Amino acid sequence: MGRRSCHAQGDGAGGVSGKDRKPATRAVEVGRRPEWTGAVVNPPVWRASTHLYTDSADLAKARPNEDGQFYYGRRGAPTQWALAEALTELEPGAHATLLYPSGVAAIAGTLLALLESGDTLLMTDNAYEPSRNIAKNLLAPLGIETRFFDPLDPAGFAAQFDARTKAVWLESPGSLTMEVADVPALAALARDKGALVLLDNTWATPLGFPALERGADVTVMSLTKHVGGHSDLMMGSAAAGEALYKRLRLKAQSLGQVVSPDDAALALRGLRTMPLRLERAAASALAVAEWLAGRPEVAHVLCPMLPGAPGHALWQRDFTGACGLFSFVLSGSAPTARARFIDALELFGIGYSWGGFESLAIPFDAARVRTASAWPPAGWYPDDRLGVRLSIGLEDAGDLIADLERGMAAMKTA
């Protein structure tokens, strides 16, 4: 076998410690095990429910919970193992990674695995709205109470703990409004109180925010976004140390969670180029954010990597990368003008999701979902209905800026 087909898996095999290599290198080499997937670059799509055992003794030896031991399709096959292992290798501090059929399934699976009746969860007030819905529609009926907190108020957060608080749910930057929380400080407070720290790291991925090293016990991602990267698959993941991983796996298996090998192969293909795509999208996003910051039609640019923007100092301190997703707030114009702006865009699609190769724009109204923190913040333009979220894709940044300029012009012609 050639060098490439039997390369190190990050465990120091062959005398080279893979973990020391840079993310772009890691994204190319991780999850490629010839003993699982053969001497080819990409793992074949293993479509299989049934493993055939050679004899009764072979069947008796089968171990359902070990990767590399094909047991039955619901427990995964080499295509899914390759993706899960690749994600684990990119996540400093992770023992292993569970795959779920969507990001929401990963969030629900994590919360269900780690909380039980009588427990209280503290959730950041800027969490992805479906995370809030999970608290309301899934956890509350099970007797698990959720309390929301202002992610920018660590003292208020600390005051919410009681003996029943078993976990906290963080997301930073928060959905839509992009506040950057002091995750290491909040995580330290939670650990002090004996609560688990669960974090939605979809925005940054481990390349931009090594969540387990910053204090999280479990890091959850929607792979639909950056890992997939091409707007053609739904998937989620949760990564953790060994003990918590085993609890997550038990619940995921009880819920019958499995992802298709086709989607796993697509996600793995996306993962190979993720560092490159993130770098390009983040650079274009910063260029667009800088341009927006200089426009009279824009009151606030909510982009953590933009110097002077809210959360920039914490982003600089804690993050090692960024992505193409950020928001801004229009100044002084009516919501109808916002609709004219968005409708005039030609390069930006109007749609949910993000992290694909194509740019998207949606209006957002954050006040509607807040319960524990003020939106807009005091002193900002008082109309909440002027927020726009952009997902910057791989188009030329100058073309995107020209498109936004077209939108600004359309806003004025009532």
Ligand X SMILES: *Cc1c(COP(=O)(O)O)cnc(C)c1O
Phi, psi of 50 (to 5 degrees): -110, 125
Provide DSSP, 183-252. HHHHHHHHHHTT-EEEEE-TTTHHHH--GGGGT-SEEEEETTTTTT-SS----EEEEE-HHHHHHHHHHH
**Least CB distance to ligand X at residue 108 (A):** 9
Which DSSP category does 53 fall into?
A: P
Place of tokens 């809210």: 310
Q: Under the criterion CB under 6 A, does residue 165 sit at the interface with ligand X?
A: no
Q: Under the criterion CB under 6 A, does residue 237 sit at the interface with ligand X?
A: no
**Least CB distance to ligand X at residue 10 (A):** 26
- 362, 385 in Cβ contact below 8 A? no
Mark 347-376 with x for binding to ligand X (rule: CB under 6 A) and - for no binding: ------------------------------
H or E segment and range at residue 146: strand 145-149
CA angle, corner 42, sides to 38 and 47, nearest 5?
75
Closest CA to 195 of 159, 168, 155: 168
Mark 96-115 with x for binding to ligand X (rule: CB under 6 A) and - for no binding: ------xxx-----------
**Least CB distance to ligand X at residue 162 (A):** 27
Residue nearest to ligand X (CB): 103
Q: Under the criterion CB under 6 A, does residue 234 sit at the interface with ligand X?
A: yes
**Least CB distance to ligand X at residue 239 (A):** 15
CA distance 94 to 189: 22
Mark 125-164 with x for binding to ligand X (rule: CB under 6 A) and - for no binding: ---x------------------------------------
Q: Under the criterion CB under 6 A, does residue 219 sit at the interface with ligand X?
A: no
Query: Out of 19, 61, 74, 164, which one is annotated catalytic?
Result: 74
CA distance 75 to 159: 42
Q: Under the criterion CB under 6 A, does residue 200 sit at the interface with ligand X?
A: yes
Q: Which stretch binds ligand X (CB under 6 A): 150-158, 218-226, 245-253, 395-403?
A: 218-226
The 10 Å Cβ neighbour count of residue 330 is 25
Binding site residues, ligand X, CB under 6 A: 102-104, 128, 171, 175, 200, 202, 222, 224-225, 234, 236
Q: Which residues are known catalytic residues?
A: 74, 128, 200, 225
